[in-house]
Amino acid sequence: MFITKLALPRRTFLRGMGAAVALPMLDAMVPALSALNRTAAQPVRRLGFVYLPMGAIKDEWTPTGVGTNFELSPILSAFSQVREQLTVLTGLTHAEAAAMGDGNGSHSRVAAVYLTGVHPRRTEGADIQAGTSVDQLAARQLGQGTQLPSLELAIDTGTLVGNCENGYSCAYLNSLSWRSPTTPNPMETNPRTVFEQMFGEGGSGAERRVQMREDSSVLDWVNGDLKRLERELGPSDRARVAEYFDAIRAVEQRIQAAEKQGEDDPFVLPEAPLGVPNSYEEHVKLLFDMLVLAYRTDTTRVFTFALGRELSNRTYPQIGVPDPHHNLSHHGNDPAKIVKLAKVQTHQAQLTASFLEQLKATEDGDGSLLDHSMILFGSGMSNSNEHSYIDLPLAVLGGGSGQLKGSRHLTYPEDTPAANLFVSLLHKVGCPVEQFGNSTGALANL
């Protein structure tokens, strides 16, 4: 470690020309007197939720074997590079997603219940009600002092209004995150908007957009601050800052390319948000890259990311699946449809695995970003053909700052509330709760 007299606070920004760029973890953020005894500043805890729409084929998801002696399933094999930080959970159920006399509307219910553990009110009007979601409870604790207490991202736009499914408001499908029992958070699909939230400062959103669409980079605007700082940093910190700025510039360039693609393509729907790539894969990867930057700079410590919306009929011809997703989810036990549906689910797992591998490769204090995070990957539905909410496909990835032991397949009785998992996750990030949704306590052995 290069020891310098410079001691930076953990949340240090470079500023200039209406931009503010947070710095990643640096050696200079360790107080000089304690540097000889520590390798890094105390890491922060992070929590994230990646949603897999419309469940997962059980035989393609569930590992063989239990405990530490298990083999990865076809879908979960995507996580082979982070297996040592993978915990698969079998047997958890969201009983609050049951009809309870409300009739059809399973997709709306599983979306609303997934992070709240609360049965939603069946209504087409403004009197929607579910519960405060786990991500928002965590954000109240972890988000103190961060620029963004939480980030809510999605691939499908949240513009549906009115009745979407058998008398249920579209609000239940548009968001997984609930700020309060009556207020779902809007989920952002546009990488440009996320970039501006993280790095834009001053002026209106429109003014920042005009500035950022120019050839100059946000990094050029803070160049003066950067040069002054670099004179004070040690060699390893200068290299780390250079690498981090390269990552920001790469994201910028991809956003600008997506915007130009939208301008040049006459077939892009006019309501498509500016900066959203035409490619599903590039869209997902770009938003994941934004999350890596957000974690790396401590801009936020909590996120929710929906890889698709319940009831979505998106097609995936690029992987050989031209069939609409929702139609495939009702496969009627047709082997050919099951193969296609599993292919979509595996593809989404692979995209998520790439994000996790980035976290694993990014230094953070005495470990990596993945070491100091807990990421839940899963769905509020299990067997989509039956609209089942029993034995949900759920997996937690990350080290939880030493609180999670990976490479395990944990099994629980079928009636174990999935809300117990959220109680456990909240406890591990320093947010003690006695009750969440229909929980009966913390999850044993996690």
Query: pLDDT higher for 120 or 212?
Result: 120
* Secondary structure (3-state) at 207: helix
Q: Which CATH class is domain 47-189+280-428?
A: alpha beta
d(Cα 79, Cα 84) in Å, to the nearest integer?
Answer: 9
* pLDDT of 93 over the 60 cut: yes
Among the listed residues 248, 235, 271, the one whose alpha carbon sits nearest the alpha carbon of residue 196: 248
DSSP assignment of 359-409 equals HHHSEETTEETTTTEEEEEE-S-S-GGGT--SS--EEEES-GGGT---SEE
* pLDDT of 38 over the 90 cut: no
Among the listed residues 19, 38, 22, the one whose alpha carbon sits nearest the alpha carbon of residue 30: 38
Model confidence pLDDT, tens digit, residues 379-393: 999 999 999 999 999
| Predicted pLDDT at 267 | 37
The alpha helices in 148-296, defined as continuous H runs, are 171-174, 191-199, 205-212, 218-221, 223-230, 235-264, 280-296
| Predicted pLDDT at 221 | 52
Query: pLDDT higher for 352 or 278?
Result: 352
Q: Where are the domains of the chain?
A: 1-42+204-275, 47-189+280-428
Kindly tell me the number of DSSP H helices and DSSP E strands found in the chain.
Answer: 13, 17
* pLDDT of 270 over the 60 cut: no
What does DSSP assign to residue 188? B
CA 158 to chain centre: 16
Pairing, β 302-306 against β 46-51: parallel
| Predicted pLDDT at 414 | 85
Among the listed residues 409, 289, 407, 404, the one whose alpha carbon sits nearest the alpha carbon of residue 45: 404
* Secondary structure (3-state) at 65: strand
Model confidence pLDDT, tens digit, residues 142-169: 988 788 899 999 999 877 777 899 999 9
Instruction: Return the half-sphere exposure (C-beta side, CA atoms, 13 A cut-off) of residue 56.
Output: 27
Q: How many residues does the chain have?
A: 446
Query: CB–CB of 131/116 below 8 Å?
Result: yes
* Per-residue exposure over 10-25, b if at least 16 CB sit within 10 Å of its own CB, e if not: bebbbebebbbbbbbb
Q: Which of 71-75, 252-256, 407-411 has the lowest mean pLDDT?
A: 252-256
